[in-house]
Amino acid sequence: MRFVIVGPGALGCLLGAKLAEAAARTDHVLWILDHDPKRAEQIRRKGLLYEKFDRQKRYPVNACADPLIIERADVLFLCVKSYAIEAALEFCRPLLQPGTLLIFMQNGVGHVDLRDRVGEAAAAFGCTSEGATSLGTGHVRHAGDGATFLGFLDRPDDISQALLVKTVAALQAARLSASVSENILTRLWAKLFVNVGINALTAIHDCMNGELLTIAGVEREMREAVGEAEQVALAKGIPVENDPYQATVAVCRATARNISSMRQDVLKKRPTEIDAINGAVVREALHFGIATPVNTALVRRVKEIESNYSTQRS
């Protein structure tokens, strides 16, 4: 199979390194596609550097900034930030052909409505709780093991279903916990609950995930933010499994030393995905007349941080 990963950020590099490991033992072909030619060339020359605990390993990979060089893809993982999806889809359009499976791997739920923008490819969705921290171009720290779920929102054709099953098998061969989900929308919302409760608060308080449970008043904010998101999900008819707040606390503890993706963005003075996470809760709530004061405040506070990037020291 020919795998293409679009976006060599933390998650893209993690998936890339793991699939490169699997490709070394199989006939799989892996490409990293990046809109930045300089970064793509660095990855092509140096490969991907994977780090976990006290060990490092470098994996050689194919990388380029021109989708025409790749020619075709069986499976394309779209690992760009939520706000860059439409630009990325246009960029990799030459690869979105019949028989190609594109897998959205974004935070939030806003990208669910973009499945009709994938050209002639089929669209699937993924969510993962694998912890990944970007340490530089092509350098990723695997900060914590998790589970990855891939699935379709609509009934797929036989070719797309077979590609998804083979993709899960490839991830499993790469020593990742992966499975096909028949209720991927529920999985996406379950991850959204966790992101709603963790990401913005770690960015605001400049702390690791586990530290949120030690800061006075933060647990209340977390509980209320997740509670607002749960109300919205129920109003939309999304099944809610288990207790979203307790699940969020459990993730905080399990990933205590992790740096959330939003805090990573703030530390690097990059745009955050606040609009796709807490902002999505606020937007969806408007349709049902549900009040979201905590999520509204979290969106405002993160946007204030972003607006001050130019005045902060590098």
CATH of 2-182, one of 3.40.50.2300, 3.40.30.10, 3.30.360.10, 3.40.50.720: 3.40.50.720
- pTM of the complete model: 0.94
Sign of CA dihedral 50, 138, 114, 198: positive
What pLDDT, on a 0 to 100 scale, did the predictor assign at position 67? 98
Report the CATH number of the 185-308 domain: 1.10.1040.10
Residue boundaries of the structural domains of the chain:
2-182, 185-308
Which residue(s) pair with 124 in the sheet? Answer: 103
pLDDT for the residue numbered 314 = 45
Q: Find the farthest-apart pair of alpha carbons in the chain and give their distance in angstroms, rounded.
A: 54
Q: Are 124 and 114 in contact (CB under 8 A)?
A: no
Quick: pLDDT tens for 22-44.
888 888 999 999 999 999 999 99
Q: Give counts: helices (H), strands (E), the chain.
A: 11, 12
Residues of the chain with pLDDT under 50: 313-314
How far is Cα 88 from Cα 228, in angstroms, rounded to an integer? 31
Give the model's pLDDT for residue 205. 98
Q: What are phi and psi of 205, to 5 degrees?
A: -95, 0
Q: What sections of 132-288 are H helices per DSSP?
A: 158-173, 184-205, 218-235, 244-254, 261-267, 278-286
What are the DSSP calls for 221-244, one per residue?
A: HHHHHHHHHHHHHHHTT----S-H
pLDDT score of 312: 55
Averaged pLDDT score across all residues of the chain: 95
**CA pair distance 60, 48, nearest whole angstrom:** 6
User: CA-CA distance, 314 to 311, in Å (whole number)?
Assistant: 9
Give the pLDDT confidence score for residue 217 in this predicted structure. Answer: 94
Q: Which two tokens stand for residue 110?
A: 């806003």
Alpha-carbon distances of 142 from 50, 54, 145, 218, rounded to whole Å? 7, 11, 8, 27
What is the layout of strands, in order, in the sheet containing 2-6? 62-64, 29-33, 2-6, 75-78, 101-104, 122-128, 148-151, 178-180
